């Protein structure tokens, strides 16, 4: 399991540094980024300074979109954000999506857990909608274990569904990797 996701000052500083580097690489001002993702300039400044102990996943998604990050950059960027309490964001919808995707890929809970380097109990709790403290890095590991190709609509929808709790984004995807 990847350990880059987390909470607290270290994760906030890592996220801030990635945000600042990506913004500068795209030659954007803080004001331009704020405008593109409908945030205040002060929020962008505070995020870059690592002043938030936890960044909301929806905010990180909006920033990644505003910066036009490539799939691999996007995964790295989002992996520094803690998703927080899965029950509040994912609950049953993501559990159903995970189970449907796992079944479509003909994997048992045990096989998925082994491939993603997570405990079987984690997979069981996710599918039941009762897991907590899940990081985007763990979600990325699950997507990799399910064979969801980096940059594919299926993978992006899977990660968004986990963060947003909306499995309908993913349901229209064709089975298997693209």
Own/partner contacts of 102-111, CB < 8 Å, gap of 24 or more, are: 102/127, 102/146, 104/175, 104/176, 105/146, 105/147, 105/176, 107/145, 107/146
Question: What per-residue confidence (pLDDT) applies to 116?
Answer: 93
Rounded average pLDDT over 102-113: 94
Domains and CATH numbers, the chain: 8-69 (1.10.260.40), 86-164 (1.10.260.40)
What number is the average pLDDT over the span 140-159?
84
Residue 9 has pLDDT above 80, yes or no: no
Long-range residue pairs from 30-39, CB within 8 A, at least 24 positions apart, any chain: 33/63, 33/66, 33/67, 36/65, 36/66, 37/62, 37/63, 37/65, 37/66, 38/62, 39/63
Q: What is the pLDDT of residues 15-47, one digit of tens each?
A: 888 899 999 999 999 999 999 988 899 999 989
Residue 133: pLDDT band (50, 70, 90) is: low
- The pTM score is 0.50
- pLDDT over 70 percentage in the chain: 72
The answer to whether the CB of 81 falls within 8 A of the CB of 15 is yes
128/41: higher pLDDT: 41
Q: What is the DSSP-derived secondary structure letter of residue 26?
A: T
Name the band, by pLDDT with cuts 50, 70 and 90, for residue 50: confident
Is-contact 136 164, C-beta < 8 A?
A: no
């Amino acid at each position: 399991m990847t350990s880059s996701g987390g909470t607290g000052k270290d994760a906030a500083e890592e996220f801030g540094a990635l945000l600042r580097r990506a913004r500068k690489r795209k030659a954007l001002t803080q004001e331009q980024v704020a405008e593109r993702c409908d945030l205040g300039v002060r929020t962008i400044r505070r995020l870059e300074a690592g002043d938030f102990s936890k960044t909301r996943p929806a905010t990180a998604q909006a920033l990644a979109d505003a910066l036009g990050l490539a799939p691999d950059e996007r995964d790295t960027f989002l992996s520094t954000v803690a998703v927080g309490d899965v029950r509040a964001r994912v609950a049953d919808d993501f559990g159903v999506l995970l189970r449907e995707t796992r079944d479509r890929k003909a994997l048992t809970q045990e096989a998925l857990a082994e491939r993603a380097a997570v405990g079987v109990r984690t997979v069981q709790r996710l599918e039941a909608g009762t897991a907590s403290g899940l990081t985007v890095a763990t979600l990325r590991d699950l997507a990799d274990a399910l064979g969801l190709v980096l940059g594919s609509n299926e993978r992006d929808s899977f990660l968004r569904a986990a963060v947003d709790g909306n499995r309908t984004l993913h349901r229209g995807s064709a089975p298997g990797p693209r």
